[in-house]
Amino acid sequence: MALKDITLGQFFPGNSFIHRLDPRSKIIFTVLFIVIIFLCKDLVSYGLVLASLLVLVGISKVEPKVFVKGMKPVVFIVVCTAILNLFYTDGNVLWSLGFLKITEEGLWKAFFMVLRILMLICSTLLLTYTTSPILLTDGLERLLRPLKKVGFPVHELSMMMSIALRFIPTLIQETDKIINAQKARGADFDSGNLMQKAKALIPILIPLFISSFRRAEELAIAMECRCYHGDEGRTSFRQLRLHGRDWAFMTFTILLLAAVCVLRYFGL
């Protein structure tokens, strides 16, 4: 079933070094890593960054196959970027045919762009694969807490996020169930023109909407029954604590950032 194969944003439980890190250090790493990727300019820094990413993926003990699968949705973007960069960069012409030309600079640029996008996706996948959604939102809430001073609804936002994340698998399951139930009554989702295909979705969407509203209402009531009234005076069951490994991991991240900066602004 295609729906079940969505891995983007999925969590793979484990007990590796990466899994045990505090979610905050992983979030900070992911943000800084994106900066690092965009600071890279030369082969050496790309090599360095790629190598560290691969090592981290290795340490996480999540199967590399899963990462490859998670990157599939962006293949189209990657290919487009590669083609655009390949043909539309001026410089030392290597090959040309009519108005099409490939330059040495274009080749390098295309290569680096592809590498950038793939590393970007890979690093975010590393975060979501090794951090449970609940820890992820807890971490985000803690990191964003200073923004509350300026009236930003940090708690509400993170509560909405954790509920949404919590219900994605449920909704997928529900959708699967409804699809199967309608298939059992002979529903056909694959044949016909676009109009007919769109119409075939109605028997799925209506029950899905109805059950989502029902669920939302039930959840709201259940939360109120347990005296949920927002952020005020709320304590947390899971106390986030930074351990030695978190400091080590963040030091590593900063060092990587520094190295890439040095390479970018001072050369070798």
Partner 1 sequence: MEPIIEIKNLTHIYSPKTPFEHKALDNVDLTIYRGEYLGIIGRTGSGKSTLIQHLNGLMKPSSGQILFEGKDIWGSKAMTHDIRYQVGLVFQYPEYQLFEETVYKDIAYGPRNMKLSEEEVDRRVRQAAKFAGLSDAVLERSPFELSGGQKRRVAIAGVIAMEPKVLILDEPTAGLDPAGAAEILENIEAYRKSNNATIIFVSHSMEDVARITDRLVVISKGTLPYVGTPHEVFSHGEDLDKLGLAVPAMNRVFSRVHAMGVDIDPAVYTVEQAKAAFLEAFRRKERV
For binding to partner 1 (CB under 8 A), which residues are involved? 4, 12-13, 66, 177-178, 180-188, 202-203, 206-207, 210-211
Contacts of 209 (CB under 8 A, 6+ apart): none
CB of 168 to partner 1, least distance (A): 16
Coil/strand/helix, residue 95: strand
Q: Which helix (H) or strand (E) holds 233?
A: none
**Phi, psi for 212 (deg, rounded to 5):** -65, -45
Q: In this complex, which beta carbon is closest to partner 1, that of residue 25 or of residue 182?
A: 182
Q: In this complex, which beta carbon is closest to partner 1, that of residue 61 or of residue 101?
A: 61
Q: In this complex, which beta carbon is closest to partner 1, that of residue 48 or of residue 187?
A: 187
**Phi, psi for 102 (deg, rounded to 5):** -115, 130
Burial readout 170-205 (b: 16 or more C-beta within 10 A, e: otherwise): eeeebbeebbeebeeeeeeeeeeeeeeeeebeebbe
Judge contact between 28 and 253, C-beta under 8 A.
yes
Q: In this complex, which beta carbon is closest to partner 1, that of residue 50 or of residue 66?
A: 66
Q: In this complex, which beta carbon is closest to partner 1, that of residue 27 or of residue 57?
A: 57
CB of 186 to partner 1, least distance (A): 3
CB of 116 to partner 1, least distance (A): 28
CB of 5 to partner 1, least distance (A): 9
CB of 251 to partner 1, least distance (A): 31
- Render 184-230 in DSSP notation, one character per residue: TTT--SSSS-HHHHHHHTHHHHHHHHHHHHHHHHHHHHHHHHTT--S
Q: In this complex, which beta carbon is closest to partner 1, that of residue 213 or of residue 252?
A: 213
Contacts of 80 (CB under 8 A, 6+ apart): none
CB of 128 to partner 1, least distance (A): 15
